[in-house]
Structure 1
Amino acid sequence: MKSHRLTSGLAIALTILFTLSAVPALAVEVKEKTCDAIQKAIYQLPPEGGEVSLLPGTYSCSAPIIMDRHNVTLRGTGPATLLRLADKANAPVIIMGMAEGIPSRTTRYIKVRDLMIDGNRANQLSECMGGPCSMEFPLRNNGISIRRCEDCAVQSVTVFGAMSGGLVTELGCRRLNIRDYTSFDNEFDGLAGYETEDSTFTGIHLYGNKAAGISTDIKFNNNKFYDVTISNNGTVGIFMRDSLDNAFTNMHIRDNIQHGVFLAQVNTDAATGATGNTFTSVVISQSGGVGFLANDASCVNNMLVGAQFVNNRHGCIGEAASGLVENIGAICR
């Protein structure tokens, strides 16, 4: 009995510690309509973190908002709060994590919620911050870049018009929670993931992006997607390489210029095929190419469960070798 009480007490103490580390301690309201004012508010928060709240209106961003401190929340009032990248700023709008080329440490418990982001693509000059994309200038001008962030969240956010991607996760992200995210009219993908694991994406709506709706690459493993709509994108609905054991549930993919779902490997490297991914309750329709294409023989152990394929121009399922896609209960019409 004594041992049980000690164990229970330890569990309570750990719960309290986690709660204190994950919940903002202070709220600060930003009234000046600039992202510089938002940045100053973030850096003025106490060491334990806090919340920066934004009023309705348009905040002009001449430089990115960098959220590189633990336990910080940026909260707007919904669609009435707009962060707009200034003309020729050539920058991401929000960076969750460190802005250096390769982040030297992990950032935890960062949240962005209840706002809209306008990347103002028509008035930018380059895809990368500082100049042409290179090792010197690796930061893409995304709406939101999440970089080596753990237990971080984006909720009820819309991103449009970014010079690169809408929202991009990269460089060692873990346990992200992306919920009620909409993205359209970006130069590349609505949502892209690299070196990201054990994360959840729920209520995702991606349309009218010039490249893919979703693009995953470079160790994008063990992630879950629920309730996803992808439509009218310039290339494919979903592009996947080097992506292992991800699950997609309740998804509609329609009217994309090329394929609905495209699985591949990186160049000639057979060790980087998209493998072990599961697609459940999926409707793929009106694709310009194949509904679901496993492009390389390395893309093994992928599964479709309860899929509907409707009016895809070049057929329902394409495979580089027979038996790549396990198909249970699919209807092709």
Structure 2
Amino acid sequence: MKILDHVYRRLNPEANPASQTAFERSAQQLPTVWLLGKTGAGKSSLIRALTGLDRVEVGSGFRPCTLTAEQYDYPAQTPVLAFMDTRGLAEADYDPSADIANCESASHALLVVMKAEDPEQSQVLKALKQIKRSGRIREALLVHTGIYQVENEIERQRCIAHNQQQVEAVWGTLDSVAVDFNGPDGVPANLEALKEKLGERLPIILELFRNQGHSDAEERNFSELKREVMWYAGAAGACDAIPAVGLVAVPTVQLKMLHSLANQYGLEYTRRLLSEFAAAMGTGFGVQYASRLGLRQLAKLIPVWGQTVGGASAAVASYCFTYALGRAACMYFYRLKRGEPITSQELRERFKQAFDHIVPVARDEKSR
């Protein structure tokens, strides 16, 4: 408790600039899905179907990142994932080489988006050849869209097979999913299958978008804040990969997260609130926190090993610890606001569950 109180006094989140550096670094390393397809293929519709945002929110959220490529960060204010769209593939005299090179270096999974009823995909196939030759993108998925716009079942399957064959003639065997974002009765068709396929390539997709049941009101409440907690976790992990930086930046980010979460539960963030939360986590939690953070920083100072394996391990550890800390804090703040009792055992169990749960996402994100 005294250790966290000391951290609070030394690293006031409202005054320390280290958190801004952490968020900027995290924004440069967002897991990124590259959408490759002609205008009208359904790329924006795909983003809307996944995120639940409307046409205006998605349309106004894209920002230029090259001459014709654009990037969409999600969520806009606390981004943990990005979608990148290479536009202009069907335009005359457009050479996508520069945009492709930029997108390759910035993306982690490629989605080739083709409208089922459109067999003319020459520009997309040309771009795919360039991407294939570079060898930099290995995680790819073909998405056949608008499948129910082809009403006849036999013709629909023929259209899907034709585009699949065109792509595989260039790329080789490629996994695919057939969807329609305005399917029968206006309900998206095969959206869950798309999420599962994407999640195999980027685990963060499932964490963000998979429909999960909530056992009680507290879990439902946390689901509204989870993306923000992941944003803070991403920032902590990003800065903890750098030798010596994490010792200041990680606690700063974590304090800023606790500050924000307390406010969202209608609680005043004070030194007393932080001390009471630390006490509720149980005897020794503050000492354990400080010792683990210090050991991670020492490990990163070991020549060569510390700057590779040590840095990567520290990034994963800080991501998971920050996420778990946020999850436990949400449970504590929820109970405190409602005047309900909570035990150290409950908090520690929730912390451990959250830590173990988020490990696959952290490992995938920090291994790239």
Q: Which has the higher contact order (CA 8 A, sep 6+)?
A: 2
Greater share of strand: 1
| TM-score category of the 2 structures, normalised to the smaller one | under 0.3
Greater radius of gyration (CA) = 2
Greater share of helix: 2
